[in-house]
Amino acid sequence: MVHVRKKQTDSQMFFASVTVLYWSRHYNKGMQCDLHVHTRHSGMCTIPLLRAVCRECYNEPPAVYEKLKRLGMDLVTITDHDSIDGLEELRSRPDFFLSEEVTCQLPSGTQLHVGVYDITDRDHIELQRRRSDFEALLAWLGERDLFFSANHVFSSLTGRRAIEDFELFASAFPALETRNGHMLPRANENAAALADYAGRAEVGGSDAHAMASVGCAYTVVPRARSRHEYLEGLRLGLGKVRGEAGGFRKLTRDVLWIGWHMVRANPWTLPLATLAPAVPLVILWNYAQESVFARWWMAQYLQARAARGGDRSAERAAEVAA
C-alpha cells in the first residue's frame, strides 16, 4: 500500500509540474497586436493625379480582422486615417479595440501622423476638432489619459520636418513607432535610437494598405492576459516590437495591388495601367529620398542634442550618421 501511494504521489507531482509549466509559458507568452493597420476607410490617395479615383487602401475591415487572427494576433485594432467608419463592422468582436491615425499639424507647421489607441466614438470627434491645433490636441489626449504615439518620424511621408519637431517627439509623446512594416530599416532604427535617448515607449505595426502586408509587424507585451493589461503594458514601456521593416519588393507589390483594385472598382481608369511599369522606378527614387531624409534628420537631431547637453557620445553618433 505504501508503494502504491508513493506512485500516486509521484504521478500527481508530475502532472502538477506539467500544469505549472504549461500555465507559466502561457502567462509569459503575453499578447500581440498589429498597432498600425489600415482599411478601405482610410480615405483617398494623396497623390494629386490619383486623388479623385484611388483609395489609400481597399481592405475590408472583417478581412483584415480575420487575417490578423490567422497570424496569431491576440488583439485587433485598426488605425484608419482620421476615420472610425470601420468600427461598426468589428464592434461586436471581444478582442477588438478602436484606434485611429490622426493627421495633426505641429507648432512648426509640419504634419505628423499620430496613432491614438483604444478610443471611443466621442474621442474621435474631439480628436478631429483639435488636430489642427497641437496644443489643444495634446491637452485633450492628456485629459482623456489616452495612449498615443508619433508614427514614422524619420520619414518624409507627411512632408518636411523641423529640428524642433524632434524635440517635441522626445518630450511630448509617450511612445514612438519604432517598427513600421513599410519604412526602411534605417528609419526604424533611428526611431528606436530616439526612443532610447528620450526614454519613450516603443510600438510597432505593419502600416499595411494591402492585404499581403497585414500583420507583418506588431507589438508584443509579455505577460499581458487581457486588453487592459496589454494597453497598460504599452504605457509602462513593456512593449516589444517584432516583425519586418519595409523594402522595395514589398512596397512595389502593395502599390501594384492597390492599383489593380482601383481598376476593378473603376474600370474606366484602365488606361492608367500603362503607368504600372514606372512604379518600380518611382519606388526606388522614393526610397533613395527616404534614406537621405532619415540620415539627415538623425544627424541634425544628434548634433542639436550634443550641442545642448555636451553629449560626446551623441556627437560621435552624429558624425557617423552624417
- The mean pLDDT values, 10 residues at a time, for the chain of 322 residues are 47 47 54 98 88 94 98 98 94 96 96 98 97 96 97 96 96 98 97 96 98 98 97 98 96 96 94 92 96 97 85 48 46
Cβ–Cβ under 8 Å, residues 230 and 31 = yes
Q: Which three cell numbers stand for residue 145?
A: 489619459
Beta strand pairing call for 111-117 and 99-105 = antiparallel
Residues β-bridged to residue 238: none
Output the pLDDT for position 18.
Answer: 42
**Which residue blocks in 71-120 are alpha helix, DSSP H?**
none
Single-letter code of the amino acid located at 201: A
Q: Which has the closest alpha carbon to 104: 144, 146, 148?
A: 148
Q: Structure pTM?
A: 0.87
* Coil, helix or strand at residue 176: strand
Q: Which three cell numbers stand for residue 39?
A: 482599411
Superfamily of domain 31-260: Metal-dependent hydrolases (3.20.20.140)
* Coil, helix or strand at residue 261: helix
From residue 287, alpha-carbon distances to 109, 132, 225, 316 in Å are 24, 29, 39, 26
Output the pLDDT for position 98.
Answer: 97
Residues β-bridged to residue 111: 105
Output the pLDDT for position 4.
Answer: 43
Cβ–Cβ under 8 Å, residues 147 and 117 = yes
